[in-house]
Every structure is written in C-alpha cells, then in structure tokens.
Chains A and B, each alone.
Chain A
C-alpha cells in the first residue's frame, strides 16, 4: 500500500454481527466499499483484488467498538463524502465510526496495533471487592497456563497484561476492563483470564473497546 491515498476507517462490529468471522467481516467491507463507489485501487495480476488491510482479528462472538481497516484509493475524496457514502452502503451494526487519511508509507495496522482493550461483563452479583481480590490474586501468581485447541500455552501475566485490570460496578453490572498485549505468539483471551480468576460460566459478554499503537510516546489510537 505504498501509492495513492491510504484511507483508514474505524468501524464497529456490534449486535448480531459480532458472530461474523474475520474473513466474513473482510468480505462485507470489500463489498461495502464497492457499493459506496469509492475509487478503490485493485492489485495487479490475473485476479485483481481490492487492496484492503485489516487490524487484528476479533474472535467470533466478541463485539468490537473501534476496529480498523486501511483501504488504498486512487484519488482523494473528502473524508465527509467517504463517511456519508459508507454509511449508506453498510448495515449499521458494521458501520464506520470515523475515517481519516494516513501516510501511505506507515506500517500495517496488523503490525502496529499491539494493545487491545477489552471490557468483560461478569454475570452473578458478586461484590466488586471480591472480584478485585480474585483478579489481584491471579495476577500475583505471575503466570497462567492455558489450553487452546489441544495445545498448552503459558502466559507471563506481566507481559500479557501490561496494565492491572480495573473493575467497575453500577446498576448490578460488573465490568472488568483489561489491556491485553498482542504479539506474534498470540494474545491472552480475556474470557480465559476472567474464568481462571472467578470461575466458569461467569462471562456474560466480551467487547473489544479499543485497539492501540504502542510507541516512544506511550499508547495512542491509530487515528
């Protein structure tokens, strides 16, 4: 994606559409860009494809409030026009949140987005302090062994969770906010951590609320 204009789209994936896979989400956005008649660039070769690049995949069933994609355009279209066209070309549950042009030479979203912020809603009315104590206790052990698809994996919690989880309670809802580091070895799934801390069948929902770039100045949004 080194030529033309690189448009970065922040979008959400909410409601029923949280059940879409990463591949399905990609196809849906490609078709939305066609319907919106954006001046998208296509790759060379026998089977020219739209040049779209996405951030890290969301697990099927997890909602996302600020997901990202980059799309290469062959000519400049004002952001307000792009947003208007995209809103009219995609279902609201997968709609754009904001768009902006970024440098065409910037590293890919997948490589630059390394911190994911999650909110995990916990079922059952345990007091906030009790949940906090469970989380602190688990963090204190320093490591978590996880089995995923038959494979054992050990996470160093200080690396996997670069910030202490926070617990909030209001109107009978208890929500844990977590900051998870994503790396080449994969990332710790928030519901796995919460289940290890407070027991099974307690996770009501998981939402990825933000994706962040980590650099010399600290953490920031890619837009």
Chain B
C-alpha cells in the first residue's frame, strides 16, 4: 500500500468511536494475533515506547490512546516485503488504555493494554 493522505477526521476525532469510524474500522474485534509491546508503567509520560507486531498479513497499523485529547497517535502503512512490525514513542497525559489496531485482508483487529502514568517518588 502506498502512503495515504493524512486522515484529518481520524486524527482530529475526540473519542475512540469517532476515530474507528473515520478509519472505517467499525468496532474492531480483539485478537490474540495482534501483539502490543509497551511498558506497564510509563517511565516518562512524554516518551512511552509502543510497538505492534502480528503474524497476520497486515498492511496497516494504528495506535490509539483512549484518554488523550485526540486518541489517534499514528497510522502506519506496511507494503508487502515489509514485516508487520513497528515501534514508535508516544505522549500520554494520564493512565489510559492503549489500542494497537491491525488491518489485514481488509478487516481491522486490535489488542488493548493499560499503560500507567504515575507521579512517581518513593522506593525500597
């Protein structure tokens, strides 16, 4: 797949449903074939590593952060010959579910993980 136009409606969507709709994703089914690689606790809410991998023949990924003002953080386009794998770093204002979306054979699927953003301090 070639890079698509910057999807204004999706990136400016204010809720998960708005973003799903703008992506044409319907309500994606949760799938064990989608793996989200991310920490349980963010070391720094401004730099949270998030990765997606799948064994599906995927051509498009997306990362959504439920509690961010605009949930859609990024979309990725995976041409054939490129592995269904990506890692990037995102900003999170507060503890939130993070969604990894994968589009394969025209169908969107997803995995969800809660990433905690804490004030920090203290220790043993």
Partners in one complex: no
Give A contacts to B, CB under 8 Å.
none
Give B contacts to A, CB under 8 Å.
none
